[in-house]
Chains A and B, each alone.
Chain A
């Protein structure tokens, strides 16, 4: 494991991760174009996020979609869990709420594979520290 021994080391890691992320966003890293985040805090898991995560992993493999699927914490919209955020290349991330298996396959088949807007997204309206 790489040990961080100085502030410069820390800066280097930050730079590496950030550039990797921006490459993905711009679609320059063609290996993984779709980024999917599943809210996996207690609220999400209680509403069934684990199953949705598993379903997305299997389905993406089955349909040969090269997606990076990862877990995150709670966005604060606990009422709409399970929530799935999808970011396609060159697009703003979209957050889908109340995702069950039916909804998840709709997201994959319509939004991810055909880029079709399927509606029902949760509008994320908070300000961040950088605004």
Chain B
């Protein structure tokens, strides 16, 4: 079911006429000529649309709050600072259907009383920027942006602001500071951007996918939209499928679809027919769900209840060969690099979490470390300033909760069940099976294997770098992995 992606891959994104042929800009026309600002907001509120950036805040309510603040100047901001590893739905929308975002920003501007829209887009998306620029230029030429749009007295124009690709700038207060030319650091809310945002003026910030859904809601009506989805999460959500899945790509499904349908029916199952282990949703702020959750309908509230979150919609599928401790470590490393360093729990707490995880993957962990990770994670969650810190321990907590036995295997038995943590591996030669063919000896890159021809060989563990070449080369299965 494609709503946000309705035109992606079907129209030429660089031709405004093709967008217009698909009822493009008619939602804006309808709002300007038939609906009052209040009626338009009511339509969005009735539709039940919630923010697609991850938070899930009701969009109509946000618009209403911004509208009700008295100010001479207001702003509409589109958050296109997509930063989750493995998520690329916003990029696809901007590359495939930029006009839908422009139209929705103009509708939002009309509702809240703003005449300027700003798109905060990361400079790493050159093609999306290019297409957006072309689209804005064409909309201006056609008079769909600018002064007196469609013969009314509504004025609206859009400018671009480039981000340098910092994850924290997806947080709305940090995003606004970055647009103002300040450091991209979050500040305490309230005041919310709806009251005091860009340049201290009321600012409505929405995500790309949220905006892309708006014109359809206006054209088709709130009642059409709110019939799709679950009780509290209406409409559809785009997910970016990545990882060990056969059909990597974007899927847009109604809220309430199960993970099993997305991964097996649409995604084509796991690569090489391996065993499904977990799916990571919500990026660095989300968590890992086990196969017990495969039949859980996906919506905002169910994912939170399951210990993860919707996030922007990245879905990374993990199979039996993935080590959950290493996965938690990977996300922690990401947050560590992306933390702005303003508040102590996030800056220092995440560093300590990362160190404990490294210790475990290197085989030096002790049982108490698991509890230590839990306690520290909860402290970071409770005391960090912004969403980045408050959610950064989620990958750690969810992997401990769902895969505690794997952590225990690392610290108690000194083993990595998935065979990923190199320090915990040991390659050995089984004497009885070794024929002394010298193949491993000749292929070992560090000269760790010794032995005479036709005599059993030996691996010097102090030299071995655990590259696994000998294991792959041996024709007699004489090398074991412990």
Say yes or no for B1: interface residue by CB 8 A criterion.
yes
* A75 with B144, Cβ < 8 A, contacts A6-B151, A42-B88 known: no
A3 to B10, CA, bound (A): 25
- Determine the chain A residues whose CB is within 8 A of the CB of B9 once the complex forms: 37, 39, 41, 72-76
A73 to B246, CA, bound (A): 21
Contact B127 A42 (CB under 8 A): yes
Contact B20 A10 (CB under 8 A): yes
CB distance from B25 to the nearest CB of A (A): 6
Say yes or no for B460: interface residue by CB 8 A criterion.
no
* Contact with A129, one of B3, B26, B32 (Cβ below 8 angstroms): B3
Contact B95 A73 (CB under 8 A): yes
Contact bitstring A119-131, B, C-beta under 8 A = 1, else 0:
0000000111100
Say yes or no for A18: interface residue by CB 8 A criterion.
yes
Contact A72 B1 (CB under 8 A): no
- Determine the chain B residues whose CB is within 8 A of the CB of A7 once the complex forms: 26, 29, 32-33, 150
Contact A41 B95 (CB under 8 A): yes
Contact bitstring B212-238, A, C-beta under 8 A = 1, else 0:
000010001000000000000000000
Contact B2 A126 (CB under 8 A): yes
* Contact with B25, one of A10, A17, A45 (Cβ below 8 angstroms): A10
Query: Of residues 1 to 18 in A, which have CB atoms within 8 Å of B's CB atoms?
Result: 1-7, 9-10, 13-14, 17-18
Contact bitstring A38-58, B, C-beta under 8 A = 1, else 0:
010111010000000000000
Query: Of residues 125 to 143 in B, which have CB atoms within 8 Å of A's CB atoms?
Result: 125, 127-128, 141-143
* A13 with B96, Cβ < 8 A, contacts A4-B143, A7-B29, A129-B216 known: no
Say yes or no for B14: interface residue by CB 8 A criterion.
yes
Give the residue name and chain of the A residue nearest to B246 (CB): A79
CB distance from B26 to the nearest CB of A (A): 7
Contact bitstring B85-115, A, C-beta under 8 A = 1, else 0:
0001001100111000000000000000000
Say yes or no for A78: interface residue by CB 8 A criterion.
yes
* A71 with B6, Cβ < 8 A, contacts A21-B21, A79-B246 known: no
CB distance from B239 to the nearest CB of A (A): 10
| Complex interface: stretch among B66-74, B173-181, B249-257, B289-297 | B249-257
Contact A127 B33 (CB under 8 A): no
* A72 with B29, Cβ < 8 A, contacts A45-B127, A79-B246 known: no
* A17 with B21, Cβ < 8 A, contacts A1-B141, A3-B142, A6-B151 known: yes
A71 to B8, CA, bound (A): 11
- Determine the chain A residues whose CB is within 8 A of the CB of B452 once the complex forms: none
- Determine the chain A residues whose CB is within 8 A of the CB of B18 once the complex forms: 17
Contact bitstring A62-99, B, C-beta under 8 A = 1, else 0:
00000000111111111110000000000000000000
Contact B13 A72 (CB under 8 A): yes
A71 to B23, CA, bound (A): 20
* A5 with B1, Cβ < 8 A, contacts A72-B9, A75-B8, A129-B6 known: no
* Contact with A126, one of B1, B26, B143 (Cβ below 8 angstroms): B1
Contact A4 B17 (CB under 8 A): no
CB distance from B107 to the nearest CB of A (A): 14
CB distance from A93 to the nearest CB of B (A): 9
Say yes or no for B5: interface residue by CB 8 A criterion.
yes
Say yes or no for B371: interface residue by CB 8 A criterion.
no
CB distance from B33 to the nearest CB of A (A): 6
CB distance from A98 to the nearest CB of B (A): 12
Contact A74 B92 (CB under 8 A): yes
A102 to B248, CA, bound (A): 24
* A76 with B8, Cβ < 8 A, contacts A3-B142, A42-B127 known: yes
CB distance from A2 to the nearest CB of B (A): 7
* A14 with B250, Cβ < 8 A, contacts A7-B29, A75-B9, A128-B2 known: no
* Contact with B250, one of A5, A21, A74, A129 (Cβ below 8 angstroms): A74
- Determine the chain A residues whose CB is within 8 A of the CB of B247 once the complex forms: 77, 79-80
* A74 with B151, Cβ < 8 A, contacts A41-B95, A79-B248, A129-B3 known: no
CB distance from A87 to the nearest CB of B (A): 11
A7 to B149, CA, bound (A): 10
* A74 with B95, Cβ < 8 A, contacts A5-B151, A10-B150, A13-B20 known: yes
Give the residue name and chain of the A residue nearest to B239 (CB): A76
Query: Of residues 1 to 59 in B, which have CB atoms within 8 Å of A's CB atoms?
Result: 1-3, 5-15, 17-18, 20-21, 23, 25-26, 29, 32-33
* Contact with B249, one of A9, A17, A37, A79 (Cβ below 8 angstroms): A79
* A129 with B2, Cβ < 8 A, contacts A14-B21, A42-B91, A77-B249 known: yes
Pick 27 A–B contacts, CB within 8 A, sort by A. Answer: A6-B150, A9-B150, A10-B25, A13-B17, A14-B20, A17-B17, A18-B21, A21-B21, A37-B10, A37-B12, A39-B9, A41-B9, A42-B88, A42-B91, A45-B127, A70-B15, A71-B12, A73-B8, A74-B96, A74-B249, A74-B250, A75-B8, A76-B9, A79-B249, A126-B252, A129-B6, A129-B220
Known: A7-B150, A37-B10, A74-B249. 13 other contacts (CB 8 A): A3-B143, A4-B142, A5-B150, A10-B26, A37-B12, A41-B96, A42-B125, A70-B12, A71-B13, A72-B9, A74-B92, A76-B9, A80-B249
B→A interface (CB under 8 Å): 1-3, 5-15, 17-18, 20-21, 23, 25-26, 29, 32-33, 88, 91-92, 95-97, 125, 127-128, 141-144, 150-151, 216, 220, 246-252
A→B interface (CB under 8 Å): 1-7, 9-10, 13-14, 17-18, 21, 37, 39, 41-43, 45, 70-80, 126-129
8 tightest A-B contacts by CB?
A73-B96, A75-B9, A76-B250, A78-B249, A17-B21, A3-B143, A7-B29, A79-B248
